[in-house]
Every structure is written in C-alpha cells, then in structure tokens.
C-alpha cells in the first residue's frame, strides 16, 4: 500500500518508536531519539547486519573506531576540500537549500530568487582540548569508512586475513546537512553500517556486482518487497570525489524513489592518499603471486536510520476490520521490537499465576511484553500496531488442560499448544514455520473473538 508519511510519524511517536530530539525545548531539527520500541528495532537491524555481514562470513572482520580522528585524516581523505554541497539562499525568505533540491534558481518554498550557489562543507567542526582556536579544530566524522582505512595495516597485521576480505563497522556519523526533512531519512546525526571490502584491482568489477546483489538480497530476506527496490547508477556529475563507480540501491519511500544504500568502487583512492600523507606503507603483499600492490575497495554503505525508515514503510499496512481499520506493522520477526506478547484473557486472580509463569518462561527466550489491560481484541490490535508477530493467550481452560493459544499477527489465526511445547513452538514459528504445523498435542483453534 502507499504509505502516508504523516501517519507513520504519528504511529512512531504515539507508540514510542521515535521522538524529536530535545522536543520539550521545541526540537532540534534532523536529530531524533529512539524510544523503547525504536531502540529495539534499531538494535535488531544492526544485529542482523552484523550477523549476516560479519559473523557468518569468513572473509569479514569487525572494527569500532573512534568518532574523533586526527585532522590529517580528513585532509588526506579529501573531505576538508571536497565534502561539500552547493548551498543557495532565498533572498526573500532566507531559507537555505541544497542546489540540487531547487529548480530554475527559485526557492522551492516561496518562489523567491536564490543567491548563486556557494560550497558548504558538511563536516561539523569542534575543538579538541581546552583552547578554542583554529589549531585545535577537529571534525566529527561524516562517515565511519576513514576509521577503517587508517586501521587497514593494524587489521592486516593482527587478523591474518588474505585478500579478498572486508572490514565492517557500525557507528555514529554527523553531517551538517543543508536540506533536511522526511523524518529520519536525512539526519544531522545518524548511524552508519559500512563495509570496506579489499580486493585485487583486477577483480574489483566482479566484487562490485557481487555486493550489489548481496545487499539487495539482504533487504529482501528481511521482508522488503522487491518491487520497492531499484538500482540507480551515478552519472559522472554525481560521483563522489573518491569513487570510480557508484550505484545506489533506491527504495520507494513515501516521498518517492530515494537512496537507501550506496555501493561504491573507491579504487585505491583512500589507501593511496593515507599512505602518501602519513608516510606509512599501506600496500598489500600477495603471498601467492609474490606481488605487492594497493588493494581496491568496494564499499557498501547504509544509514541505520534510513534502513529503519525503509523497514517501517514497507511493513506498514491497514486492513478493514469490521467497522474499523486494523493498523499493523508486518515487520520480519528478526526485526520486530517485541517478538511475543503474553496476554491473560482477564485479570482474574486465578489466571494470573499461570500467566506470570508463562511470561517468565517466554521472556527468557524472546523479547516479550505482558499486557493485561483492556479487552483481548484491543490488546491484539495494540500488538499488531507495533509489529509483534505472535501473541500467547492464557484462558480459564488453560488452568485445566495446560494449553495456551498462539495467535499470529498477519493471518490472525490461532493454534492451541501444550505449555510444555510453547517456547519450542514459538521459536519455530518465529523462524518461519507455518502456523498450521502443529507441535505434539497441539490443535487448531477457532480463536477468541477479536
């Protein structure tokens, strides 16, 4: 379905996914705080990326480098010179725009005349140490990649890896963006998940295609509809100063097709620059061929916040529900902030001890939520809206037959299973087993009136 961004923003605020930063003081634009559910979603995205890109691969190692780096890094990398956007200012309303967000030299907001573009560096500058002078100026990193390049030799010396291999990193980045908006799509503070994959120069093309494919498949595996992804190749005028070739994986966001992830062939630009500026040898010795050379680098790079937006947009759905509308997030179970809701049919005191026991057992294995407020139908809807894939309901019959029901978010179907089989069954269902497959002693169940 076509998702209305305002509805999604309102759900995120109402249900505790995402809040405006410093909201009680009027907000700080393009900075966002993740609430109790948002932080779980974001952690899950990072966890899945780390699992699939690092832990389950033999050719990848991780890194966590510091946000603050020697200023020489940004001079060598070209960011001091080249990490700029053309900025234009409206002579009528004084709003500032990135030149590529404007048309015909006119302000997109009021139609006023714009100034000539001037180059604006997107790096945030601050002071290192107690003295506020230019000699003490350093930058907040605008990408995590440079932390990887300057550690290339350290990792080579310690991780015993042969080419091709990659270094992956997740961490905060800061960009003083000129035009912001579209919720968490473009933030001034955000998190990145970046891979620098080092290869022999003559294999860069193959590896570029490999990562293009691999990264699209990752989104599809985690539930993104294939139809909402497309590739966009950067033309000469769009290429970043370091890139030889660059493709965006675009996603169909509510405001239209926009970049979700960038895959760039950075050649040997970064290693060569750092070798030159630091005077350190950053070349690679290939023990098989006896040659020494500068590796080429393929870089898949994505913002966690932007990925979170894509997953939320893709999961958002509305369905007719009697006289009402059922709002649900069809999030992949690996991403859902809460995996299992535990719901006693009522607050009747005879039910509570068993319900609490079930909750204690379930929360040991999965992120779970206990909810006993209001009717069972209302509680199912609340869980649907935050994307909880499964709900376990304990009723009066459970006290006698030691069985509970499992209700599935997407189909609203239910099965009844022995408590002894519960956690094992939940595990299988969360990994994709159809609800209809019953555990020993399980049965189909018409379900409670919703």
Q: By CB under 6 A, how many residues form the interface with ligand ATP? A: 15
Contact 191, 139 (CB under 8 A): no
Stretch that binds ligand ATP, among 74-82, 184-192, 315-323, 416-424 (CB under 6 A): 184-192
Closest distance to ligand ATP from the beta carbon of 102 (Å): 15
Q: Which is nearer to ligand ATP, 37 or 302 (CB)?
A: 302
Q: Which is nearer to ligand ATP, 215 or 429 (CB)?
A: 215
> DSSP readout, 254-280?
TTEEEEEEEEEEEETHHHHHHHHHH--
99 binds ligand ATP (CB under 6 A): no
- Which of 179, 216, 273, 301 is the binder for ligand ATP (CB under 6 A)? 301
Rounded to an integer, what distance in angstroms lies between the CA atom of residue 421 and that of residue 440? 8
What region, left, alpha or beta, does residue 298 occupy, with left being phi > 0 and alpha being psi -120 to 50 degrees? beta
Rounded to an integer, what distance in angstroms lies between the CA atom of residue 227 and that of residue 421? 38
141 binds ligand ATP (CB under 6 A): no
Place of tokens 């393009």: 30
Rounded to an integer, what distance in angstroms lies between the CA atom of residue 318 and that of residue 330? 10
Stretch that binds ligand ATP, among 202-210, 276-284, 303-311, 379-387 (CB under 6 A): 303-311
80 binds ligand ATP (CB under 6 A): no
Stretch that binds ligand ATP, among 88-96, 295-303, 379-387, 406-414 (CB under 6 A): 295-303
Closest distance to ligand ATP from the beta carbon of 206 (Å): 22
Contact 354, 394 (CB under 8 A): yes
Q: Which is nearer to ligand ATP, 259 or 270 (CB)?
A: 259
Rounded to an integer, what distance in angstroms lies between the CA atom of residue 186 and that of residue 333? 26
* CB proximity list for 213: less than 8 A, separation 6 or greater: none
254 binds ligand ATP (CB under 6 A): no
Stretch that binds ligand ATP, among 5-13, 182-190, 375-383, 439-447 (CB under 6 A): 182-190
Stretch that binds ligand ATP, among 150-158, 256-264, 326-334, 357-365 (CB under 6 A): 256-264
Rounded to an integer, what distance in angstroms lies between the CA atom of residue 249 and that of residue 256? 13
79 binds ligand ATP (CB under 6 A): no
306 binds ligand ATP (CB under 6 A): yes
Closest distance to ligand ATP from the beta carbon of 192 (Å): 5
- How many CA within 13 A on the CB side of residue 268? 14
Stretch that binds ligand ATP, among 127-135, 183-191, 399-407, 411-419 (CB under 6 A): 183-191
Q: ∠ CA 443-444-445 to the nearest 5 degrees?
A: 115
215 binds ligand ATP (CB under 6 A): no
Q: Which is nearer to ligand ATP, 195 or 390 (CB)?
A: 195
Q: ∠ CA 11-16-19 to the nearest 5 degrees?
A: 85
Q: What is the dihedral of CA 357, 362, 367, 372, to 10 degrees?
A: -40
Report helix, strand or coil for 22.
coil
Contact 34, 16 (CB under 8 A): no
Contact 204, 293 (CB under 8 A): no
376 binds ligand ATP (CB under 6 A): no
267 binds ligand ATP (CB under 6 A): no
274 binds ligand ATP (CB under 6 A): no
196 binds ligand ATP (CB under 6 A): no
Could you give the C-alpha distances from 74 to 120, 191, 405, in angstroms and in order? 15, 19, 58
303 binds ligand ATP (CB under 6 A): yes
171 binds ligand ATP (CB under 6 A): no
Rounded to an integer, what distance in angstroms lies between the CA atom of residue 266 and that of residue 295? 10
297 binds ligand ATP (CB under 6 A): no
Q: Which is nearer to ligand ATP, 266 or 379 (CB)?
A: 266
Closest distance to ligand ATP from the beta carbon of 329 (Å): 21
By CB under 6 A, name the binding residues for ligand ATP.
175, 177, 186-187, 190, 192, 259-262, 301-303, 305-306
């Amino acid at each position: 379905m076509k998702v209305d961004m305002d509805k999604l923003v309102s759900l995120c605020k109402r249900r505790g996914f995402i809040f405006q930063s410093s909201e009680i003081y009027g907000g700080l634009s393009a900075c966002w705080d993740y609430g109790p559910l948002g932080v779980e979603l974001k952690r899950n995205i990072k966890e899945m990326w780390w699992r699939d890109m690092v832990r389950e691969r033999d050719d990848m190692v991780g890194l966590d480098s510091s946000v603050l780096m020697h200023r020489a890094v940004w001079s060598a990398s070209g960011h001091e010179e080249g990490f700029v956007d053309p900025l234009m200012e409206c002579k009528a309303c004084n709003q500032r725009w990135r030149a590529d967000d404007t048309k015909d030299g006119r302000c997109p907001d009021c139609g006023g005349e714009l100034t000539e573009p001037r180059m604006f560096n997107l790096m945030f500058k601050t002071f290192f140490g107690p003295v506020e002078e230019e000699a003490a100026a350093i930058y907040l990193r605008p990408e995590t990649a440079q932390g990887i390049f300057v550690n290339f030799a350290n990792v080579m010396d310690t991780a015993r890896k042969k080419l091709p291999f990659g270094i992956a990193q997740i961490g905060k980045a800061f960009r003083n963006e000129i035009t912001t908006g579209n919720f968490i799509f473009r933030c001034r503070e955000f998190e990145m998940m970046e891979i620098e994959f080092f290869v022999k120069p003559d294999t860069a093309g193959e590896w570029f295609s490999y990562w293009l494919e691999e990264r699209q498949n990752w989104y599809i595996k985690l539930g993104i509809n294939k139809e909402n992804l497309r590739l966009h190749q950067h033309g000469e005028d769009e290429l970043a100063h370091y890139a030889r070739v660059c493709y965006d994986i675009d996603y169909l966001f509510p405001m239209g097709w926009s970049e979700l992830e960038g895959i760039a062939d950075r050649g040997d630009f970064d290693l060569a620059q750092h070798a030159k500026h630091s005077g350190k040898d950053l070349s690679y010795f290939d023990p098989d061929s006896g040659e020494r050379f500068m590796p080429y680098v393929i870089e898949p790079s994505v913002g966690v916040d932007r990925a979170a937006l894509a997953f939320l947009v893709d999961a958002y759905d509305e369905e007719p529900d009697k006289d009402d509308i059922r709002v649900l997030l069809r999030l992949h179970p690996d991403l859902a902030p809460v995996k299992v809701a535990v719901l006693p049919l009522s607050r009747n005191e005879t039910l509570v001890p068993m319900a609490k026991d079930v909750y204690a057992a379930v929360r040991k294995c999965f992120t779970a939520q206990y909810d006993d407020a209001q009717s069972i139908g209302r509680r199912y809807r609340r869980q649907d809206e935050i994307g909880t894939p499964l709900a376990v309901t304990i009723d009066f019959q459970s006290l006698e037959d030691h069985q509970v029901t499992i209700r599935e978010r997407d189909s609203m179907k239910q099965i009844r299973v022995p408590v002894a089989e519960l956690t094992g069954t939940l595990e299988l269902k969360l990994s994709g087993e159809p609800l209809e497959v019953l555990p020993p002693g399980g049965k189909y169940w018409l379900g409670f009136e919703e």
